[in-house]
Amino acid sequence: MTILVGSIDWSGVIGKSVRASFFMFWVTLWPLILGFGISGFVQSFVSTEAIERKIGDHRPPAVLRASLYGSVSSSCSYAATAVAKSLFVKGADFVATSIFMFASTNLVLELGIVLIVLMGWQFALSEFVGGVIMIVLLATFGGLWLRGRSVVQARQRLVAEASTDADHVHGPSISDQLQDMAWRGRVRSKRGWADAATYTMSDLKMLRRELLIGYVVAGFLAVAVPDSFWNSLFIHGHGFWTSLENVIIGPFIAIISFVCSIGNVPLAAALWKGGISFGGVVSFIFADLITFPLLLVYNRYYGTRLMLKMLGLFWFVMSTAGLATEGLFRLAGLIPVARPVQVAPTGFSLNYTLVLNVVFLGLFGLLYWAYRSRERINAHAQTSEPQEGPAGLAHDHSHH
């Protein structure tokens, strides 16, 4: 049945949008499984206990450590925000925890892989280059802006609430015996792998809404929104002023689109197709930490005054980094000239995407089996695996 509203065949538009959304998901399926699998492995086998002791300020060594810790953690925006809150409560510096969030959502492998597959290697490289620029800017200006009574009061309130915190644990509840295992022993432990699978599934569960919204919105934008709309929203032909306006508008679109983490990459591809500048796309991808749902989370954690400070500084840092990244890539001749006619394929093909998706779906099946069997694996391991002595590698139970 064809539904005509204002001379537009909406049934046809919806059908084409759903099709475009599905094939955007299809071409990024294996990178998603690979990235989340690696993230689960890191969260299970890499200790984060030392973070609380080592990022108590925002001097260069602490900034570097916060960046490294973030880059090997979950890419989920909500998880990064929750971990940062937990670290802040335990004594970590507020600027350092913000840097941790930026690194966790911009310097992670899975994001780079999805960007390469869907948008090209230039955008993946820009994410890491711009991510470093953002961290430098945040460390420089954060100490001047994110401080004072609002920070002190936020920590006091969160510490007072910590004893009655009823939020669910992000990831598995690890036994005391497993916490005391040395790293090599944990890697050889079946329980460690069951935990890695559980972290992978936990990240996917937290991101499923954002991923779904991201693909659906991107499919609709790619099909239903004409290029003329984007050409009117983003100014063109004014040199520096075009770039400046685009990097400011990019984060605004992120705020109102509600799409976090990797879920914003398909939408970024649609924006790039529609005419936004290279720097505008980059600043949009950076802005997954200031979407409206996360602003509500910041308001709940830290209070309205500090949330507004975070919004202002983060927006400035994201736009400035997008502008600087575009300038560097322009000087190096790395900005793509051609824009895609279509964001995703329109049908299945016998190519590397099909082969890799089949392989990684099989691996995903193994991860899901380990996740579903974790209680049986843990019970069996407790009676069959020897206990190792403490190695100072206790695993952090971060809350979401």
As a whole number of angstroms, the distance between CA 147 and CA 150 comes to 7
* Of 264 and 153, the one with more pLDDT: 153
Question: Is there a contact between 293 and 137 (Cβ–Cβ < 8 Å)?
Answer: no
Higher pLDDT, residue 317 or 7: 317
pLDDT for position 227: 61
Distance in angstroms between the alpha carbons of the first and the last residue of the chain? 44
Residue 29 has pLDDT above 90, yes or no: no
Q: Dmax of the chain from CA atoms?
A: 73
Q: Is the pLDDT of residue 33 over 70?
A: yes
User: How would residue 258 be classed by pLDDT, with cut points 50, 70 and 90?
Assistant: low
- Written as one letter, the residue type at 194 is A
Confidence of residue 395 (pLDDT cuts 50, 70, 90): very low
The pTM score is 0.68
**Is the pLDDT at 105 greater than 90, yes or no?**
no
Task: Quote the distance between the C-alpha of residue 392 and its chain's center.
Answer: 29
Contact 209, 241 (CB under 8 A): no
Residues 19-25, mean pLDDT to the nearest whole number: 83
For the segment 48-67, the average pLDDT, to the nearest whole number, is: 77
Specify the pLDDT at position 162.
Answer: 59
Q: Which span out of 35-44, 61-70, 377-386 was modeled with the highest average pLDDT?
A: 61-70
What are the two backbone dihedrals, phi and then psi, of residue 9, each rounded to the nearest 5 degrees?
A: -80, 90
Alpha-carbon distance of 328 to 335, in angstroms, equals: 9
What amino acid is encoded at 284 in this protein? Answer: F
Taking residue 189's Cβ as centre, other Cβ atoms within 10 Å add up to: 21
Per residue in 154-188, pLDDT tens?
888 887 875 554 444 445 554 445 445 555 666 66
- Cβ pair 199, 205 in contact under 8 A: no
Residue with tokens 């432990």: 189
Residues above pLDDT 90, as percent of the chain:
22
Write out pLDDT tens, residues 305-329. Answer: 999 999 999 999 999 999 999 999 9
- Does 134 score more than 80 pLDDT? yes
Residue spans per domain, the chain: 13-161+174-383
d(CA 269, CA 374): 38
> Bigger pLDDT: 234 or 8?
234
Residues 6+ apart with CB under 8 A from 35: 75, 108, 109, 110, 111, 113, 114, 262
All residues at 6 or more sequence positions from 63 whose CB lies less than 8 Å from its CB, including other chains: 96, 99, 135, 139
- Please report which helix (H) or strand (E) contains residue 8, including its range: strand 8-9
pLDDT at position 137: 96
What contacts 226, CB < 8 A, 6 or more positions away?
none
Give yes or no for a contact between 151 and 94, defined as CB atoms under 8 angstroms apart.
Answer: yes
Cα pseudo-dihedral 19, 25, 27, 33, rounded to 10: -160
Give the amino acid at 346.
Answer: T
**Interval 28-36 mean pLDDT:** 75
**Interacting residues of 201 by C-beta distance below 8 A, sequence separation 6+:** 40, 367, 368, 371
Residue 354, Cβ neighbours under 10 Å: how many?
13
